[in-house]
Amino acid sequence: MSTQLTLIETSDFEADRIVQENQVIDEALHILDRRLFARGPNLMSPDAVASYLKLHLVQQEHEVFGVIFLDAQHRVLAFEVLFHGSIDGASVYPRQVVKRSLAHNAAAAIFVHNHPSGCTEPSQADRVLTARLKEVLALIEVRVLDHFIVGEGRPLSLAEHGWL
């Protein structure tokens, strides 16, 4: 009888261990989902993007250039400021934009830079850079959705003005 009692105790112990392990596995799967499928804010309109970018860049004293990296459903994967410049310009290197796009496995991108002067009117250099980056990212199948310029007032969207 003592043998049966030992087997039952061992069996109960084994069952408890399996239940605990299953709970650990379930928690690990939730953590994995959170890490792999976590997305940033839901930016469903140009106004939402403009507000988001203004909050992130309005206090910059020098010109910066950043990218919002998006997945295939245009959900935010990440926002990164990639280049820092002076009070009236920043050097942007397409190779680095491509590298970060690939690192995030992005399907789409929205560019942004600020004008510390407050004027949101795009320069000819801004338009040329946007066209060049759009061309380069098309080679790796990353769609450029917009380019915003943050300054005084509402950020300017190049796409809304037909300049993309």
Q: What is the CATH number of the domain that holds 118?
A: 3.40.140.10
**Residue 17 belongs to some domain of the structure:** no
**Residue 105 belongs to some domain of the structure:** yes
138 neighbors 102 (Cβ within 8 angstroms): no
80 neighbors 66 (Cβ within 8 angstroms): yes
92 neighbors 126 (Cβ within 8 angstroms): no
Q: What is the extent of the structural domain holding 46?
A: 39-159
What is the pTM assigned to this prediction? Answer: 0.76
The predicted pLDDT at position 57 comes to: 86
Domains held by the chain: number: 1
Residue 52 corresponds to which tokens in the numbers above?
């988001």
The predicted pLDDT at position 87 comes to: 82
Amino acid identity of residue 46, one-letter, is P
Chunk the chain into consecutive blocks of 10 residues (it has 164) and report each block's average pLDDT, rounded to whole numbers: 54 82 84 66 83 87 94 92 90 97 97 93 94 98 96 94 91
**Residue 31 belongs to some domain of the structure:** no
**Residue 19 belongs to some domain of the structure:** no
**Residue 99 belongs to some domain of the structure:** yes
**Residue 20 belongs to some domain of the structure:** no
